[in-house]
């Protein structure tokens, strides 16, 4: 019983030593390439249906691959800020290369592109051309704890050329040579069973198409990401009281109390109060004020954790400048 009481007291002391609580904020990460998104819509045209370069269109494989790719595009539109899934449409019928590009020069045929864009009520035309799927399967044996196992590995290497056009401006916005290898494996004691652990080939094709689309679209669309933040919960009675108001949802009262602590003669307490105020400013969208408060916290008492937070705020400030370009005309 005495040991149990000692453990309970120890946990109680450890809990009382917790001075910070980790929180999370959703931040917008700009895409690699910045394009106008305000009131813009996209249509996806699947162009090349010859996946093995034998000059024959693989109709069935095309339907499976491009339909799954369209789902990948649509899902990432659902998750991206500033734009919704209705801004994306998919032209299910395979579009011939000759309809979109001059067979000799390769120059886009803008009149045809505009007609297709109008038909789909789109500002941007997204094409995927020169697609190749390179399949490979192999079985390897391995030992673990004296037992022999068989591992069957399937790989699909996706090679594709993504292009984005603004046909009404007669401009090519982006071109990207995509290369990615997708891997599945199954392990079993018997060689014949190893393949049963793998998904069907059709499902593997769908997965590779889905993630290829998502990979590329992250190049064009901003994304939400979660970042860790923290808030000081203790230090003196006022910091604790401010945290209680914050925890109850009374941000104004918490801000008022923490602001009074910034004048404390103890640098640690003043730094904690300034840091909490910086977090409040950040979640309210005022990054400039958040940076100012974080700098005050660092000046009151230089700490690595405050310096790191200040750096993240600077990154958000710079990102906001990029984000404005999504809405410029």
Alpha-carbon dihedral 211, 215, 221, 226, rounded to 10 degrees: 80
Residue 57 pLDDT: 63
Pick the more confident residue, 198 or 216: 216
Other CB atoms within 10 A of residue 171 CB: 11
Q: How confident is the model at residue 9 (pLDDT cuts 50, 70, 90)?
A: very low
- Furthest-apart CA pair in the chain: how many Å? 89
Q: How confident is the model at residue 220 (pLDDT cuts 50, 70, 90)?
A: very high
Indicate whether 328 pLDDT > 90.
Answer: no
Contact 163, 127 (CB under 8 A): yes
Under CATH, which number does the domain 38-221 receive? 3.30.160
Indicate whether 14 pLDDT > 90.
Answer: no
Residue 238 pLDDT: 94
Q: What is the DSSP letter of 101?
A: B
β-strands 147-166, 124-144 pairing? antiparallel
Which of 38-52, 146-160, 239-253, 272-286 has the lowest average pLDDT? 38-52
* Burial class of residue 26 in the structure, from the number of CB atoms within 10 Å of its CB (0-12 exposed, 13-18 middle, 19+ buried): exposed
Output phi, psi for 79, to 5 deg: -95, -15
Contact 227, 27 (CB under 8 A): yes
**Nearest-angstrom CA–CA distance, 238 and 250:** 15
Domain residue spans in the chain? 19-28+225-327, 38-221
Alpha-carbon dihedral 29, 35, 40, 42, rounded to 10 degrees: -90
- Rounded to an integer, the average pLDDT of 110-132 is 93
Q: How confident is the model at residue 5 (pLDDT cuts 50, 70, 90)?
A: very low
- Rounded to an integer, the average pLDDT of 288-316 is 96
- Both tokens assigned to 189: 């004691």
Residue 13 pLDDT: 38
Q: How confident is the model at residue 6 (pLDDT cuts 50, 70, 90)?
A: very low
Closest alpha carbon to 179 in 151, 209, 158: 158
Indicate whether 8 pLDDT > 60.
Answer: no
Q: What is the DSSP letter of 108?
A: B
Q: What is the mean pLDDT of the chain?
A: 89
* Burial class of residue 148 in the structure, from the number of CB atoms within 10 Å of its CB (0-12 exposed, 13-18 middle, 19+ buried): exposed
Other CB atoms within 10 A of residue 305 CB: 12
Contact 184, 199 (CB under 8 A): yes
Closest alpha carbon to 116 in 154, 153, 164, 167: 167
Indicate whether 78 pLDDT > 60.
Answer: yes
Residue 10 pLDDT: 39
Contact 104, 126 (CB under 8 A): no
Q: How confident is the model at residue 299 (pLDDT cuts 50, 70, 90)?
A: very high
Q: What is the DSSP letter of 30?
A: P
Mention the CATH class of domain 19-28+225-327: mainly alpha
Sheet hosting strand 147-166, strand order edge to edge? 88-91, 42-46, 124-144, 147-166, 171-188
Which of 45-54, 117-126, 130-139, 287-296 has the lowest average pLDDT? 45-54
**Beta-strand runs (E) in the chain:** 20-29, 42-46, 88-91, 124-144, 147-166, 171-188, 223-232
Instruction: Round the CA-based radius of gyration of the chain to a whole number and report it.
Output: 28
């Amino acid at each position: 019983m005495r040991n149990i009481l000692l453990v309970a007291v120890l946990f109680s002391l450890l809990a009382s030593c917790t001075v910070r609580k980790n929180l999370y904020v959703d931040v917008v990460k700009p895409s690699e390439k910045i394009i106008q998104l305000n009131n813009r819509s996209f249509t996806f045209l699947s162009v090349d249906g010859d996946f093995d370069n034998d000059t024959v269109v693989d109709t069935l494989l095309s339907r499976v691959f491009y339909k799954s790719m369209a789902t990948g595009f649509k899902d990432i539109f659902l998750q991206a800020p500033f734009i919704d899934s209705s801004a994306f449409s998919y032209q299910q019928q395979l579009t011939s290369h000759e309809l979109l590009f001059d067979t000799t020069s390769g120059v886009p045929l803008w009149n045809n592109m505009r007609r297709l864009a109008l038909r789909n009520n789109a500002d941007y035309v997204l094409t995927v051309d020169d697609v190749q799927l390179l399949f490979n399967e192999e079985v390897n044996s391995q030992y673990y704890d004296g037992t022999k196992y068989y591992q069957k590995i399937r790989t699909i290497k996706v090679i594709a050329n993504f292009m984005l056009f603004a046909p009404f401006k007669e401009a090519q916005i982006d071109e990207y040579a995509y290369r990615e290898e997708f891997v599945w494996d199954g392990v079993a004691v018997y060689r014949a069973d190893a393949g049963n652990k793998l998904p069907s080939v059709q499902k593997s094709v769908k997965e590779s198409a889905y993630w290829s689309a998502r990979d590329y679209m992250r190049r064009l669309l901003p994304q939400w990401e979660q970042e860790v933040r923290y808030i000081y919960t203790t230090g003196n009675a006022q910091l604790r009281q401010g945290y209680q108001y914050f925890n109850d949802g009374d941000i104004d009262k918490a801000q008022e109390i923490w602001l009074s602590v910034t004048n404390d003669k103890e640098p640690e307490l003043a730094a904690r109060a300034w840091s909490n105020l910086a977090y409040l400013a950040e979640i309210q969208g005022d990054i400039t004020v958040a940076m100012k408060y974080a700098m005050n916290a660092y000046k009151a008492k230089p700490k690595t954790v405050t310096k790191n937070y200040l750096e993240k705020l600077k990154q958000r400030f710079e990102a906001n400048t990029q984000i404005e370009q999504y809405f410029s005309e």
